[in-house]
Amino acid sequence: MTKDTTVLLNEKRIFNPNAETVEKANVKDWEAEIEKGKDFKRYWAEKAEQFHWFKKWDTVLDDSNKPFYKWFTGGRINLTYNAVDRWIKTEKRNQVAILYANENGDEKKVTYYELYLAVNKFANRLKNLGVKKGERVAMYLPMCPELLVAMLACAKIGAVHNVIYSGLSVGAVVERINDSKAKILVTADGTFRRGKVIELKKITDEALLRCPTVETTIVVEHTGTPIKTSDLSGKEIFYRRFMEKETAECEPEPMESEDPLFILYTSGSTGKPKGVLHTTAGYMVGVATTTRNIFDIHNDDLWWCTGDVGWITGHSYAVYGPLLLGTTTLIYEGAPDFPGPGIWWEIVEKYGVTKFYTSPTAIRHLMRYGNKYPNSYDLSSLKVLGTVGEPMNPEAWMWFYKNIGGEKAPIMDTWWQTETGMHLIAPLPSTALKPGSVTKPFPGIDADIVDEEGNSVPLGKGGYLVVRNPWPAMFRTLYKDKQRYLDTYWNKIPGVYTAGDMARRDEDGYFWIQGRSDDVLKIAGHRVGTAEVESAFVSHPAVAEAAVIGKSDPIKGQVIKAFVILKEGYKLKTRLMENQTKLIEDLERHLRYELGPVAVVGEIVQVDSLPKTRSGKIMRRVLRAQENGEDLGDTSTLED
Ligand code: WTA
């Protein structure tokens, strides 16, 4: 991280908003909007008026039991009613809600009315299967319209969805299903990836051997690969059959504002993934408002968020944000450079995408292929661009700005987290931008940079990124783990939300994110916990102990560097008897099996010992300092 910081510190360029963008913008005066947000309860209450409420709320914010905040209490609302049903009574009825495209050149268009029918059928079938309000439904699906149908169906009847990213593998699927005690699993035969089909059904078959709570599996026939039925869950139903003959009328459940909407698992500092719990009304208000104002959504937009629906970016900004605004959301299944590195730009040109939201990793990756790809397409439809997931380096920012945005589309570098549910620090199209800075907190958000005691640090100095006031889309707890919720986010620095990131603020009050302050890696924008990776290593028969740190990577930001102590008689380069692969290759295969392709291994080294505290905790800090050639710092607690 240190290297990046110096680059950022020297970054002085400013890009003023262009007059045409500002003139059309939903919010024309950024500073005035921030001023308005200072009365944050009033600000969010005003935003909540955009929805259809079955019963209006009594209290905007109930903070009587901090930090278990409650928003819009007393209100009754249904997300799906607002994201789908509401539109079929308007001129949007036959407008495309979901535009699906994939690497084979296939496309599917689902109008709001078609989505309404499908969601109702799915919701009714879930009810027939005995799914009740509050019960969990797990999904392990590719980017496809059926995933959105399943999510919206859950929200319609009050079931809680738990979407598992399709790039995760068996171990991760088992853990997430079991922790949430999901009763239903929705999966698919497979997903398209670089000309191949990854057979998801095979992965779920293996996972279900260890998931006793799942009673029914619904399988989407997505790729046309023959499906071997196994009925491990007791009952398997194909999606097409599932939807047959079902009535298309389904009353929306009048949810209480604070009723759970979904659980999404993410990595933390310790081994077990955290079940981040989001609730209904506040989440809707937060994601709809940020989508509308940051990406300046209008009726004629074609919105494309490349983030997978299996992560929070997809939940908030590929599904709920755009649909709550009645926009068309494009979902794409495939890699950014297959069949060629021009594929994304071809899609932008073909459909006339107007707003485009992606990750710094993807930009760095595509930038490597040179300007000729974007330059051979007409990208003039693009009006606003955005990034999320990791710090954006100024070089990639400039490339994105020039080659994709034609020096007219502003870049919204948005800082937020699975936990925050919505963007917290981000510009608006009317903001003057600095490449690499996330600019200032969104209106209504009181973010700060502090030292360990919670005192604000002076401008220019690095510190912990915290938020001082609650916001509507904030997560409410960690599923079944209140104590961890308190310890991880609220007890470290009393009275504020500690995000786990380091940041600094420049002389204009602009925020610059420096990276994580905890043992979480960001690999190609995906959050990977070092402890999870270490457990995966140790579950291999040849490994006695492992310690994992992040290693800088020019494209992915970070990759895994692992230090392993092997059991007696093993060496990394020796071949294993049974299959003739080298141990090092087998370790990589094992990791992919347990965690999926998100766990990108950059280097594995064999060591005889690991730096530990006297109480036996691995000091990754020492390994990191050694790796970066920095001072080892305070080593008084080091055992050896
Ligand atoms: C990092 C993703 C720099 C940060 C929405 C945060 C960022 C973590 C940015 C959350 C950004 C996210 N600039 N870093 N614009 N956005 N991060 O939960 O470290 O997958 O804590 O949510 O990503 O990752 P998560």
- DSSP assignment string, 142-202: -SSHHHHHHHHHHHHHTPEEEE--TTS-HHHHHHHHHHHT-SEEEEES-EEETTEEE-HHH
What is the Rg, in whole angstroms, of the alpha carbon atoms belonging to the chain? 24
Distance (Å) from CA 564 to ligand 1 centroid: 28
pLDDT recorded at residue 634: 66
| pLDDT, mean over the chain | 94
> Which amino acid belongs to residue 386?
G
Nearest CA to ligand 1 atom 23: 389
Atom in ligand 1 nearest the alpha carbon of residue 425: 15
Give the separation between CA 230 and CA 237, rounded to whole angstroms: 11
For ligand 1, what atom is nearest to the CA of residue 499?
21
Instruction: Report the separation in Å between the CA atom of 421 and the middle of ligand 1, taken as the mean of its atom positions.
Output: 11
End-to-end CA distance of the chain: give it in Å, rounded: 27
Rounded distance from Cα 255 to ligand 1 centre (Å): 30
Measured between alpha carbons, how far is 8 from 377 in angstroms, rounded to an integer? 31
For 388, phi and psi rounded to 5 degrees? -160, 155
C-alpha 621/C-alpha 613 separation (Å) is 11
> 505 pLDDT exceeds 70?
yes
Q: Taking residues 49-72, what's their average pLDDT?
A: 98
Measured from the CA of 515, which atom of ligand 1 is nearest? 19
Whose Cα sits closest to atom 13 in ligand 1?
Answer: 391
Minimum CA distance residue for ligand 1 atom 7: 390
**Higher confidence at residue 422 or residue 233?**
422
Q: What predicted TM-score, i.e. pTM, was given to this entire model?
A: 0.94
Mutating to test ligand 1, I would choose from 416, 488, 519 the residue with most ligand atoms within 8 A of its C-beta, which is 416
For residue 330, give both structure tokens.
Answer: 């494009």
Instruction: Compute the distance from residue 388 Cα to the ligand 1 centre, in Å.
Output: 6
Distance 526 CA to ligand 1 centre (A): 9
> Dihedral through CA 592, CA 595, CA 601, CA 604, nearest 10?
-90
Cβ-in-10-Å burial (0-12, 13-18, 19+) of 16 comes to exposed
**Chain position carrying tokens 């398209």:** 192
Selected residue with higher pLDDT from 2 and 230: 230
Compute the distance between CA of residue 60 and CA of residue 279 in angstroms, rounded to an integer.
Answer: 15
pLDDT, residue 621, reads 87
Question: What residue's CA is closest to ligand 1, atom 10?
Answer: 417
Quote the Cα angle for 221-223-226, to 5°. 70
* Three-state secondary structure call for residue 126: helix
Ligand 1: centre distance to CA 93 (Å): 35
pLDDT confidence band for 338 (50 / 70 / 90): very high
Q: Whose CA is nearest to atom 8 of ligand 1?
A: 417
d(CA 413, CA 633): 33
Find the 520 Cα to ligand 1 centroid distance in Å: 11
Q: Whose CA is nearest to atom 15 of ligand 1?
A: 415
Beta strands 76-77 and 255-256: pairing type? antiparallel
φ and ψ at 170, to 5 degrees? -45, -55
- Digit-coded pLDDT (tens) for 456-476: 999 999 999 999 999 999 999
Residues with C-beta less than 6 Å from any ligand 1 atom: 266, 311-313, 388-391, 413-418, 438, 499-501, 513, 516, 522, 527
| Distance separating alpha carbons of residues 119 and 161, to the nearest angstrom | 14
**Six-digit token pair at 180?**
């949430």
Average pLDDT value for residue range 580-592: 92
pLDDT of residue 246: 84
Tell me: pLDDT of 235 over 60: yes
| CA separation, residue 285 to residues 47, 152, 367 (Å) | 6, 17, 35
DSSP 565: E
pLDDT, position 636: 66
Distance 196 CA to ligand 1 centre (A): 30
Yes or no: say if 356 and 348 are a contact pair by the CB < 8 Å rule. yes
- 640 close to 568: Cβ distance less than 8 angstroms: no
pLDDT > 60? residue 7: no
* The pLDDT of residue 640 is above 80: no
Report the separation in Å between the CA atom of 518 and the middle of ligand 1, taken as the mean of its atom positions: 13
Q: Closest residue (by CA) to atom 11 of ligand 1?
A: 415
- Residue 454, burial from CB neighbour count under 10 angstroms (0-12, 13-18, 19+): middle
Q: How far apart are CA 269 and CA 282, in angstroms?
A: 27
How long a stretch of residues is the chain?
640
Nearest CA owner, ligand 1 atom 25: 417
Query: To test the ligand 1 pocket, which listed residue (527, 528, 532, 558) has its Cβ within 8 A of the most ligand atoms?
Result: 527
Mean pLDDT of 383-390: 97
Mutate to test the pocket of ligand 1, among 274, 315, 388, 528 (most ligand atoms within 8 A of CB): 388
Residues 6 or more apart whose Cβ sits within 8 Å of residue 137: 126, 131, 150, 154, 159, 160, 161, 162, 182, 183, 184, 185, 186
- The continuous run of DSSP H or E covering 395 comes out as helix 394-399
Determine the distance separating the centroid of ligand 1 and the alpha carbon of 69, expressed in angstroms.
Answer: 23
Q: How far is the CA of 383 from the centre of ligand 1 (A)?
A: 23
CA of 313 from ligand 1 middle (Å) equals 10
Q: Locate the ligand 1 atom nearest the alpha carbon of residue 387 and give its number.
A: 15
Distance, CA 417 to ligand 1 centroid (Å)?
Answer: 5
383 burial (CB, 10 Å; 0-12 / 13-18 / 19+) is buried
Give pLDDT, residue 412.
Answer: 98
CA atoms of 110 and 120, how far apart (whole Å): 14
User: Quick one: pLDDT at residue 493?
Assistant: 95
> In degrees rounded to 5, what are phi and psi of residue 288?
-65, -40
The atom number, within ligand 1, closest to the CA of 418 reads 18
pLDDT tens-digit series, residues 100-137: 999 999 999 999 999 999 999 999 999 999 999 999 99
Banded model confidence at residue 2, pLDDT cuts 50, 70, 90 = very low
* pLDDT on residue 8: 47
Ligand 1 center–CA 360 separation, angstroms = 11
What is the 438 CA–ligand 1 centroid distance (Å)? 11
Report how far residue 322's alpha carbon sits from residue 302's, in angstroms, rounded to the nearest whole number. 10
pLDDT band at 232, cuts 50/70/90? confident
Ligand 1 atom 12, closest CA: 389
For residue 606, what are the β-bridge partners? 564
- Ligand 1 pocket test, candidate residues 267, 400, 417, most atoms within 8 A of CB: 417
- Concatenate the DSSP letters of all residues of 273-331 into one string: PEEEEEEHHHHHHHHHHHHHHHTT--TT-EEEE-S-TTSHHHIIIIIIHHHHTT-EEEE
Give the least confident one: 288-292, 460-464, 574-578, 587-591.
574-578
Task: Choose between 68 and 617: higher pLDDT.
Answer: 68
Q: Which residue has the higher pLDDT, 611 or 132?
A: 132
Cα–Cα distance measured from residue 44 to residue 472, given in angstroms and rounded to the nearest whole number? 7
Neighbours of 611 (CB within 10 A): 21
